[in-house]
């Protein structure tokens, strides 16, 4: 049996009781380590589980999946994923490969950023399409996520923006020379995401576009959701460029139309309560 086990979002203790049982009894246990991170590392998990974990980076999962699944028809193998195995990143590839090999599988669900963001008080019901904001480079500055956010906003929907993670990336130079030298991991902060969004707002305004999203649009910045030191701050997009949220992982929500109860919740996390005065308080229905 292949078990896909969600680890939740905080630390070692956020695994479910069932998930922990699975981890303890499986022959081999892989830890997916390229789409998200916990606030603790592999060693802390190993100590808590009382067993060794095999780190599975993107290369392993994409190119050596058959090795990972070896004998999983005869013994139990677990694949641990931060959040939920079908959360922000789905692991459909691995499931499809297992099924093709005649290996049964089971998913042990957990919280993922896709549902845990509800803790800020915005109703999950009212979220539209989720977007990813990628790190811009000098020569590559995509804006497609902005159009999706504007579309959601126009429909009254909130947008969860997942922020880029660069793990085990090679510099262009090392990549071209085939050197397996990797850069330090980078995690986009709410500040960086807000700056990119503000740059797009300015560009579009110069082009004379009528904007749904401006510097004054209400947003929520979230850091380390689910961990004991999680931080949530609500305020304008402009404010998001300077809020201090601490270490990764970060996410940002661009709010759509707000229900009074949602406003009351967001005020608990306000960078500055006056941000709420000029904003619309009705829901599109």
In the bound state with a second copy, the residue whose beta carbon lies nearer, of 126 and 192, is 126
Collapsing DSSP to helix, strand or coil, 186 comes out as strand
Least distance between a second copy and beta carbon 138 (Å): 25
Q: Shortest approach of a second copy to residue 154 CB, angstroms?
A: 11
**Closest distance to a second copy from the beta carbon of 13 (Å):** 4
Quick one: 160 or 241, whose CB is closer to a second copy?
Answer: 160
CA dist., res. 251 & res. 99, Å (int): 34
* 11-18, long-range: CB < 8 A, 24+ apart: 11/38, 11/39, 11/40, 11/44, 11/227, 11/228, 12/38, 12/40, 12/44, 12/45, 12/48, 12/49, 13/48, 14/38, 14/110, 14/111, 14/226, 15/110, 16/108, 16/109, 16/110, 18/108
* 250 annotated as a binding-site residue: yes
87 is in an annotated binding site: yes
> Is 61 annotated in some ligand binding site?
no
On whether 112 is known to bind a ligand per the annotation, the reply is yes
Annotated binding-site residue? 252 = no
Q: Is 274 annotated as a binding residue?
A: no
Indicate the residue among 65 and 241 with the shorter CB distance to a second copy. Answer: 65
Nearer Cβ to a second copy (151/166) = 151
End-to-end CA distance of the chain: 46
50 is in an annotated binding site: no
Q: Which residues does residue 236 pair with via DSSP β-bridges, in sequence order?
A: 218
- The response to whether 225 counts as a known ligand-binding position is yes
Question: 46: which 2 tokens?
Answer: 């190993």
Q: How far apart are alpha carbons 180 and 266 in whole angstroms?
A: 45
Give whichever of 7 and 243 is closer to a second copy, judged by the CB atom.
7
Minimum CB separation of residue 170 from a second copy in Å reads 26
CB of 229 to a second copy, least distance (A): 12
What residues contact residue 45 under an 8 Å CB cut-off, 6+ apart? 7, 12, 31, 38, 53, 80
When the beta carbons of 108 and 241 are compared against a second copy, the nearer one is 108
Peptide bond before residue 146 is cis, with ω within 30 degrees of 0: no
- Partners of 29 in the beta sheet? 78
* Beta carbon of residue 67, minimum distance to a second copy (angstroms, whole number): 22
Q: Chain centroid to CA 194: how far?
A: 16
Please say whether the beta carbons of 68 and 77 come within 8 A.
yes
Residues at the contact surface with a second copy, assessed by CB under 8 A: 6, 8-10, 12-18, 20-21, 84-88, 90, 92-93, 95-96, 99, 107, 109-112, 114-116, 118-119, 121, 123-131, 151, 155, 157, 225-226, 261-262, 264-265, 268
Q: Which residues are annotated as a binding site?
A: 9, 84, 87, 112-113, 163, 225, 250
Q: Which parts are annotated binding residues for S-adenosyl-L-methionine?
A: 9, 84, 87, 112-113, 163, 225, 250
């Amino acid at each position: 049996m292949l078990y896909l086990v969600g680890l939740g979002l905080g630390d070692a203790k956020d695994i479910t009781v069932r998930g922990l049982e699975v981890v303890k009894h499986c022959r081999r246990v892989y830890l997916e380590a390229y789409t998200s991170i916990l606030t603790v590392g592999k060693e802390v998990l190993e100590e808590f589980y009382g067993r060794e974990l095999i780190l599975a980076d993107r290369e392993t999962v994409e190119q050596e999946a058959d090795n990972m699944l070896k004998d999983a028809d005869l013994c139990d193998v677990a694949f641990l994923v931060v959040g939920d195995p079908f959360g922000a990143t789905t692991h459909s590839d691995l499931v499809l490969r297992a099924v093709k090999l005649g290996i049964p599988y089971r998913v042990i669900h957990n919280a993922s950023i896709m549902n845990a963001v509800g803790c800020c008080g915005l109703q999950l019901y009212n979220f539209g399409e989720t977007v990813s904001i990628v790190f811009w480079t000098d020569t590559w500055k995509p804006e497609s996520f902005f159009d999706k956010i504007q579309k959601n906003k126009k429909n009254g929907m909130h947008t969860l923006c997942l922020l880029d993670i660069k793990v085990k990336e090679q510099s262009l130079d090392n990549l071209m020379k085939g050197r397996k030298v990797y850069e330090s991991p980078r995690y986009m902060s709410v500040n960086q995401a807000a700056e990119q969004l503000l740059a797009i707002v300015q560009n579009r305004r110069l082009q004379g576009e009528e904007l749904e999203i401006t510097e004054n649009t209400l947003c929520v910045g979230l850091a380390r959701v689910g961990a004991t030191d999680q931080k949530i701050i609500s305020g304008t997009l402009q404010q998001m460029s300077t809020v201090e949220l601490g270490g990764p992982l970060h996410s940002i929500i661009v709010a759509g139309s707000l229900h009074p109860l949602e406003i009351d919740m967001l005020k608990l996390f306000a960078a500055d309560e006056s941000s709420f005065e000029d904003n619309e308080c009705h829901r599109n229905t």
